[in-house]
Structure 1
Amino acid sequence: MAIGRQNHHQMQAAADVGVAQADASAAAKKPARPKMMRQYDLVDRVRAYNPNTDEDLLNRAYVYAMMAHGEQKRASGDPYFSHPLEVAAILTSLKLDDATIVAALLHDTIEDTESTRAEIDQIFGKEIGALVDGLTKLKRLELVSREAKQAENLRKLLLAIADDVRVLLVKLADRLHNMRTMEFMPPASRRRIAEETLDIYAPLAGRMGMQKMREELEDLSFRVLDPDAHLVVEQRLDALEERNRNLIGEIESQLVAKLAKNGITAQVKGRRKQPFSIWVKMERKSIGFEQLSDIFGFRVVVKSLEEVYRTVGIVHTTWPVVPGRFKDYISTPKQNDYRSIHTTVIGPGKQRVELQIRTEEMDRVNEFGIAAHAFYKDGIGSPTEMLNRESNAFAWLRHTIEVLSESSNPEEFLEHTKMELFHDQVFCFTPKGKLIALPRHANVIDFAYAVHTDVGNSAVGCKINGKFAPLSSELENGDQVEVLTSQAQSAPPSAWEALAVTGKARAAIRRATRAAVRDQYAGLGRRIVERLFMRAKIVYADDKLKGALPRLARSSIDDVMAAVGRGEMKASDVARAMYPDYKEEARIAAKKVVGSAPKTKTPADSKASTAIPIRGINSDLPVKFAPNGGAVPGDRIVGIVTAGEGITIYPIQSPALKDFEEEPERWLDVRWDIEEMAPQRFPARLHVQNVNEPGSLAQVAGVIAEHDGNIDNISMSRRSPDFTDLTIDLEVYDLKHLNAIISQLRAKAVVASVERVNG
């Protein structure tokens, strides 16, 4: 399709005919719907706030979109063109620039018609072409699961916003109009779209400061998802508003008169909260409608910042203040640029009155948010460049986009982003006075990662307002937080991920944990490779391995070592890649090892220089112990490599080693390497046959405790009326320690027998 730059009068005539036909078609349907906006109506809307608008551009876009969509229909039966036209109308109410209005008119042309990006660029310019293309890409994604599709759509949306924030404004307006016309869609589609709107688009509008749009999106979603609850709340609100109509008027007039008496001209308007916010508060606090005390609020708009604080003083000296209900979002604005003073007083009629006091400029930004910045007045720079200078909301967007690269999958990113979208803010300070904004319920771990990733990774303690506190402590507004770090901690505990609230902290912890595990596997792999080379008496060098990387299909030395450590690659494969003439050494048959006498040569008898030292589960190697019995220092041990799990340590007498007889390549020479100055506990298992009499279990536990053993788990089974079988998992320092406990247990009269279990 190639419409090109047609004669303006021909385009105008075509537009009038098309609109007339659409109006006639709409008139034939019942119930009647509003007539489609005409071309000159759209131009008049834009000219009302932008006298310098490019009328020719708007006219050409109107006609192009109408002709491109042609006879296409919406589910309602209306001409499809009515949808992009209504999206453009929504954006005119936000007073956006010509390019955004034109992009709204064209936003479905590339996807749903024969139009192309090249044609859009040619007719309307590359700026508008880029906007339309950004919106088109959001629709060209089909994934298997609805969750994955929703997550990936959010990723695409945010990446498109990174290029030009106006993409977000058009997308939000597009979603708003679709929600307004939901009644024509199948019930399943209505519910799916409403859930996504409530999950993503409404809170995203809120984080962009567009409160009016957020409230309408929430209300429309609430109507679809829970129509009965919406109807009940709506009816209760209507009845309450009617009952208090005179009181609302009285409060408004008293406020205006009181401020005028003090030389302040103010606009005061009462407004009730939206059904969805009322419902959420009732659900969250488990209270009834009658218990809500702040259903109505009053907005007080004055001319200057000085008058804002004067108004606060007048209000507070006229009516009693409700303690704990004063918030100054002017000195510390919200991250979406919201600024206002909030206070609650006991006003006329002994009613609790919530007041929001702000200037006219604050009121405009609070209503339209990021859109209030997007129509730039001086014409210098693009809206996105201007937002970089003026909008905290856009700074949040940039931060969220950074998290994209830190998330391993779309669902993880969606989870983190939802968390940040839904939480209110809490403001804390570093010791140097830097303000850190976090979601409500965030803790010191979140704070540390908000300061810097390295601070979070090395955090070992903290002080809150000068007092030592746990890292999991929940933060409150105004807290001063000092994070204590240690260079000895290179990676955070993986358990922190469950404690963190913010997406940034969770992503950083997960990334550091993955890196630490990879380093462990790489370290294990390097030891395995180096010891094989020592036994084979050949020279290992990183430079030589680097030249062999293509033969191993790996991009780096660390990748090779990690693959060996995970059991995905044999050390002999590395040797062959470096030395093609290398012949794998003959291994002792595994079956000769199992159950052999101490003098029999086994992998565990290898020279200490070639055996891998084992220090325990807290070492720098991915090590675990035999699941059914463990191993303790003093045992002769064997290491078994399991793909993806590292080394499992078995005592040489373990019958489980029979399972690996035919896989000698998985056997490793290992030896104990215990630090005497920092003893560790190791797992062991005992089978105890106990006399069934009162206090017998206490005697067994007492012996273990007296000898400094630690019971990890006990299971009991009744073998006969006289005896109980106990399986005890305990932790001991070494074989000597374990044997001492066994000896003392056997000395007890209530113990019939004690045997160590070798799994």
Structure 2
Amino acid sequence: MMRQYELVDRVRRYNPHTNEDLLNRAYVFAMKAHGSQKRASGDPYFSHPLEVAAILTEFKVDDATIAAAMLHDTIEDTTVTREDVDKAFGEEIGGLVDGLTKLGKLDFVTRHAQQAENFRKLLLAIADDARVLLVKLADRLHNMRTLQFMPETKRARIAEDTLDIYAPLAGRMGMQSMRNELEDLAFRSLMPDAYELIVSRLEGMKAKNGAIIARIAAELTDQFARRGIKVEVKGRQKQPYSIWRKMERRSIAFEQLSDIYGFRILVDTVADCYAAVGVAHTTWPSVPGRFKDYISTPKQNDYRSIHTTVIGPGSQRVELQIRTHEMHEVAEYGIAAHAIYKDAGTSADAPVVSESRAYRGLRQTIEALASDDSEKFLEHTKLELFHDQVFCFTPKGRLIALPRGATAIDFAYAVHTDVGNSAVGAKINGRIAPLISELHNGDEVLISRAEGGSPPAAWDSVVVTGRARAAIRRATREAAKAQFGGLGRQIVERAFERAGKKFAEAKLKAALPRLARASIDDVFIGVGRGEIFSTDVVRAVFPNFKEERKAGPAVPLNESGWFGLPKAADLVFRVPGESDAAEALPLRGIDFDTPVRFAPKGGAVPGERIVGIRAPEGIVIYPIHSPALVDYNDHPELWLDVRWDLEDAPNLLYSTQIVVTLLNEPGALGVIATTIGEYGANIDAISSSASGADFRRFVIDLQVRDIQHLNAVLSELRGKSVVNKVERASG
């Protein structure tokens, strides 16, 4: 535990005129008040307020704030009263300590109501004196640093409150260093696996690129020095939580992040900032759309800097943040940087404070909302302060809180699951808009509904909330059951008919144990989804049933791309274009004397569930996942039960099509072609198109042995750093 003189020495380093007597008295008072109390870690309780005070010395706060930090838990956790603190230290420090004290055990209906009222009290105290916020954030930071000693049941709640309230509040006040540490500590607690993965990737990247980073920093310094601009170059690494949040928000891989490393260029004057931009842009090519001037237009939290990205040494993208030393101090310490001590002749209790725009805005917001009841106050304050969330309204004024990037679909599911499932359109602020429209703070959203509707499965990739995604998947599963159940019944009835057996539900019900299904409907759904073959259902009811298969002759592919087929109960096709000695390619379940072809693009391959669809020209074979089958949902009479027979199947390659989105850089396509070749697959044809400035989209006609072979190729491609996305084409 820190000694009394060590704390005083820390304060004296930045404030030679510190009131040592005040600090010593606060130290002794708090230590006696907490007495033998222990923390969850087993340390003396007084070690906590002492560490909070030590954290605040990093922000160079005044003596009253340091004293309040040491005393901040005395009223709440000991027998000390507000009057005791006022008597010993005066009303100024007493007011700070009281502002940091939670409400007593009043008759709250819910914990949420108690939390809201405590939060209201805290913010009102912050509005009266910004130093309350500084102590509270330091208090939360030390609690997060020692979170491992808390009971596991409390850790998640404390970490979530940190991410939801305290880290955004630090960011709103411009205290970026405080915000970064709060976010990363909470992230490590809530998602330890993700945290460790990102940290390990960062360490690997640092080991790999350390020399390049040092070279870039040296060349930056040299270029500015040649132009007569005195600069200090500092490397910057993006924080793990910021990396994870960006990956989640943009659905991109770690390798696709271009701003993990950057450089801060610190200069003496504002004029030097703009001169430095000129040097950077005339020395290296700038990246279009990556220039932001927060000096002429500061952020709401007083952040001022110029951001630009150039193609720097070694053709590396280099992000530069150019600012003065004073701007850098404000960027790191926020409102704490506005308390500046004169070198001499000034009492330690009289800092020269210039009210920051960030704090002034916070205070005005809190004062404007002060008349609301506690829970509305909490909601409205979040609306104003925490820009990582979007707050929208129903036409009746109900407030809906959503993550940033949420769509009207997310809004509909937040209102009610039935509203989301039946949503067909939206009006945003009175104007018709697509359901996939991204929402912004203050939007009023009206959802148009069609009763009995079902959400498209594609919505799953559009929404950002877990509630919407879960509801969409649930509804999609139910719709699939309805679709495949009807299809499965027809397939089973036809299978019995082909076998010369009479179908009866009573007999099928008796055979359920042999099919490992709980109900007849489960059997039909299993057959429709390809999980159970129809002939297996027949065998379950009639164990002595034996299926006979007949092989048809090899048939050539005609000009229209169709196989000409003889009539047979079960047909075995030969590969078109092969000689009579070619191995047979088995397809079973076709009993019509009609031509057959495979659907384009997605192309079925052995091992996956396939379906035959009657068409005017013949029968088209689709993989069961093909989106084209949706067009036949209302025409079950066109569906045929077709499947591969992989017994003694020939060792041949079959055509399918995949879509790969690659980074637009030299050698990327070569990596893909090499990977496909190494896995024994073959590229039959390829076409490409632009997909934004940084990516190209390739459509590849691929030949593989079977579905396992295809999945292995896709899995290996997804692991390549140049690949943004890979998927099968939709047939």
TM-score by length of 1: 0.50
User: What is the deviation of 1:471?
Assistant: 6.2
CA contact (8 A) 1:299 1:357 kept: yes
Q: 1:369 aligns with which of 327, 331, 334?
A: 334
Question: Aligned runs of 1:586-597 on 2, under 5 Å?
Answer: none
Question: 2:127 aligns to what?
Answer: 162
Are positions 1:391 and 2:331 aligned together?
A: no
Once residues 150 and 290 of structure 1 are traced to their aligned partners in structure 2, the CA distance between those partners, rounded to angstroms, is 41
Cα gap change, 1:321 to 1:199, in 2 (>3 Å): same
Once residues 473 and 391 of structure 1 are traced to their aligned partners in structure 2, the CA distance between those partners, rounded to angstroms, is 38
Cα gap change, 1:70 to 1:182, in 2 (>3 Å): same
**225-234 or 368-377: bigger deviation:** 368-377
Q: 1:410 aligns with which of 365, 374, 384?
A: 374
CA contact (8 A) 2:369 2:380 kept: no
The amino acid of 2:364's aligned partner reads: H
User: What is the deviation of 1:37?
Assistant: 0.7
**Gap runs ≥5 in structure 2:** 391-402, 407-427, 433-437, 445-731
SS of 2:233's partner is strand
User: What is the deviation of 1:372?
Assistant: 0.8
SS of 1:136's partner is coil
CA contact (8 A) 1:403 1:413 kept: no
The amino acid of 1:338's aligned partner reads: Y
Question: 1:18 aligns to what?
Answer: none
**276-285 or 119-128: bigger deviation:** 119-128
Deviations 1:502-552 (A, max 9, x none): 4xx99xxxxxxxxxxxxxxxxxxxxxxxxxxxxxxxxxxxxxxxxxxxxxx
User: What is the deviation of 1:142?
Assistant: 7.2
Once residues 75 and 374 of structure 2 are traced to their aligned partners in structure 1, the CA distance between those partners, rounded to angstroms, is 26
Cα gap change, 1:169 to 1:471, in 2 (>3 Å): same
CA contact (8 A) 2:243 2:260 kept: yes
CA contact (8 A) 1:308 1:359 kept: yes
Q: 1:419 aligns with which of 383, 386, 404?
A: 383
Once residues 348 and 20 of structure 2 are traced to their aligned partners in structure 1, the CA distance between those partners, rounded to angstroms, is 20
Q: 2:277 aligns with which of 309, 312, 315?
A: 312
CA contact (8 A) 2:85 2:93 kept: yes
Question: 2:313 aligns to what?
Answer: 348
SS of 1:114's partner is coil
Question: Aligned runs of 1:261-660 on 2, under 5 Å?
Answer: 261-375=226-340, 377=342, 390-405=355-370, 407=372, 409-423=373-387, 501-502=441-442
The amino acid of 1:335's aligned partner reads: Q
Question: Aligned runs of 1:23-172 on 2, under 5 Å?
Answer: 36-137=1-102, 143-172=108-137
Are positions 1:224 and 2:164 aligned together?
A: no
User: What is the deviation of 1:374?
Assistant: 3.3
Deviations 1:221-258 (A, max 9, x none): 00111111111111111111111100110111111111
CA contact (8 A) 2:34 2:78 kept: yes
User: What is the deviation of 1:376?
Assistant: 5.2
User: What is the deviation of 1:411?
Assistant: 3.4
SS of 2:320's partner is strand
SS of 2:101's partner is helix
Are positions 1:188 and 2:115 aligned together?
A: no
Deviations 1:350-399 (A, max 9, x none): 11111110001000011000011135549999999976x53111122123
Cα gap change, 1:39 to 1:306, in 2 (>3 Å): same
Tell me how many residue pairs correspond in the alignment.
407
Once residues 355 and 349 of structure 2 are traced to their aligned partners in structure 1, the CA distance between those partners, rounded to angstroms, is 10
CA contact (8 A) 2:141 2:182 kept: yes
Cα gap change, 1:361 to 1:473, in 2 (>3 Å): farther
Aligned alpha-carbon RMSD (Å): 3.1
Once residues 282 and 419 of structure 1 are traced to their aligned partners in structure 2, the CA distance between those partners, rounded to angstroms, is 24
Cα gap change, 1:65 to 1:314, in 2 (>3 Å): same
Once residues 279 and 261 of structure 2 are traced to their aligned partners in structure 1, the CA distance between those partners, rounded to angstroms, is 21
SS of 2:441's partner is coil
Question: 1:549 aligns to what?
Answer: none
User: What is the deviation of 1:261?
Assistant: 0.8
Q: 2:165 aligns with which of 200, 212, 221?
A: 200
Once residues 193 and 101 of structure 2 are traced to their aligned partners in structure 1, the CA distance between those partners, rounded to angstroms, is 36
Once residues 195 and 38 of structure 1 are traced to their aligned partners in structure 2, the CA distance between those partners, rounded to angstroms, is 33
Whichever of the two has the greater Rg, that structure is 1
Deviations 1:302-350 (A, max 9, x none): 1111111100000011111111111111111111111000111111111
Deviations 1:22-81 (A, max 9, x none): xxxxxxxxxxxxxx1101100000000000000111111111111111111000000000
**Gap runs ≥5 in structure 1:** 1-35, 427-438, 443-469, 475-497, 507-759
Once residues 241 and 386 of structure 1 are traced to their aligned partners in structure 2, the CA distance between those partners, rounded to angstroms, is 42
Once residues 429 and 276 of structure 2 are traced to their aligned partners in structure 1, the CA distance between those partners, rounded to angstroms, is 41
SS of 1:390's partner is coil
Once residues 285 and 499 of structure 1 are traced to their aligned partners in structure 2, the CA distance between those partners, rounded to angstroms, is 16
CA contact (8 A) 1:472 1:499 kept: no
Cα gap change, 1:348 to 1:369, in 2 (>3 Å): same
Once residues 203 and 325 of structure 1 are traced to their aligned partners in structure 2, the CA distance between those partners, rounded to angstroms, is 25
CA contact (8 A) 1:272 1:296 kept: yes
User: What is the deviation of 1:120?
Assistant: 1.3
Question: 2:141 aligns to what?
Answer: 176
The amino acid of 2:87's aligned partner reads: Q
Cα gap change, 1:72 to 1:108, in 2 (>3 Å): same
Cα gap change, 1:256 to 1:413, in 2 (>3 Å): same
Once residues 319 and 118 of structure 1 are traced to their aligned partners in structure 2, the CA distance between those partners, rounded to angstroms, is 64
The amino acid of 2:139's aligned partner reads: D
User: What is the deviation of 1:260?
Assistant: 0.7
Once residues 140 and 375 of structure 1 are traced to their aligned partners in structure 2, the CA distance between those partners, rounded to angstroms, is 39
SS of 2:95's partner is helix
Once residues 347 and 380 of structure 2 are traced to their aligned partners in structure 1, the CA distance between those partners, rounded to angstroms, is 33
Identity fraction in percent:
68
CA contact (8 A) 1:334 1:425 kept: no
Deviations 1:168-215 (A, max 9, x none): 110000000000000011111010000000000000000000000000
Question: 1:495 aligns to what?
Answer: none
CA contact (8 A) 2:338 2:356 kept: yes
CA contact (8 A) 2:102 2:118 kept: no
User: What is the deviation of 1:473?
Assistant: 8.6
User: What is the deviation of 1:155?
Assistant: 1.3
User: What is the deviation of 1:441?
Assistant: 8.8
Deviations 1:91-132 (A, max 9, x none): 001000000000000011111122222221122111111111
CA contact (8 A) 2:63 2:348 kept: no
SS of 2:179's partner is helix
Once residues 500 and 358 of structure 1 are traced to their aligned partners in structure 2, the CA distance between those partners, rounded to angstroms, is 30
